[in-house]
Chain A
């Protein structure tokens, strides 16, 4: 399968714990995006990478959140000291460089903070 993959698909954690999600983009895509989606809402942008460089971060990305893409391939999103408000679907997408190219989304990681 050559689509965007995300792991794990589901994560349940207790408040205060740290969690890390992984995204593997389509291999030739040099852009990678992270979004958060809560129930009944559209996806909200968190951050994006072009190759290994993190080029933009949303104000939604508090200092408890950190994202990396060390080799310009897969990316990780870590949430430290999770809060119940962090419960959401975390979506990853990738694309070729350029605004004309569409984004391809992964299946998402559903996070539940108890």
Chain B
């Protein structure tokens, strides 16, 4: 059974810092990995989707990398801003037809001015 772990569980940083959030998964046979943002009491917003054949994806200040063989992904946030404060979740999908992602518990990020 796939297990997804996110480290750290919580992070508090001053504005302007570059951040790395980590996601690890136990079964490397994945189809893709997706990073989401969740604001308190809200739904999930997709940030980046990395297919298994890709090594990284970039969107603005965000960069996500994928190392399937080691079962790891990182989300890099450059020049963090208070508006980046949220919970960041990663989810992996595996082959087998059901397309159901397995989520980690998330990293709760606070960026203070």
Binding site for B on A (CB under 8 A): 4, 6, 31, 33, 40-45, 48, 55-56, 89, 91, 93, 95, 98-100, 102-108, 110
Contact A91/B95 with A40-B105, A43-B103, A100-B51 known, Cβ cut-off 8 Å? no
Residues of B within 8 A of A110 (CB): 41
Q: A106 to B91, alpha carbons, bound, how many Å?
A: 16
A56 to chain B, nearest CB (A): 5
The answer to whether B43 touches A48 (Cβ under 8 A) is no
Task: Contact check, B46 vs A42: say whether CB atoms are below 8 A apart.
Answer: no
Closest chain-A Cβ to B87's Cβ sits at a distance in Å of: 9
In the complex formed, the residue of B with least CB distance to A47 is B100
Say yes or no: is B34 at the interface (Cβ < 8 Å to chain A): yes
Are the C-beta atoms of B91 and A42 separated by less than 8 Å?
A: yes
Query: Once the chains bind, are B43 and A45 in contact (CB under 8 Å)?
Result: no
What total of chain B residues lie within 8 Å of the partner, measured CB to CB?
25
A107 and B43 form a contact (CB under 8 A): yes
Q: Which of B45, B95, B106 contacts A99 (CB 8 A)?
A: B95
Shortest Cβ gap from B104 to chain A (Å): 5
Q: Flag if B89 contacts A42 (CB, 8 Å).
A: yes
Given A40-B105, A42-B104, A105-B36, 14 further pairs, Cβ under 8 A: A41-B105, A43-B103, A44-B103, A48-B99, A95-B99, A98-B99, A99-B93, A99-B95, A100-B31, A102-B46, A106-B43, A107-B42, A107-B43, A108-B42
Report chain A residues within 8 Å CB of B91. 42
Chain B contacts for A31, CB-based, 8 A: 99
Q: Residue on A with the closest CB to B106?
A: A42
Q: List 5 A-B contacts (CB under 8 A).
A: A42-B105, A91-B43, A102-B34, A103-B46, A108-B41
Question: In the bound complex, what is the Cα–Cα distance between A91 and B51 (angstroms)?
Answer: 24
Name B44's contact: one of A41, A91, A99 (CB within 8 Å): A91
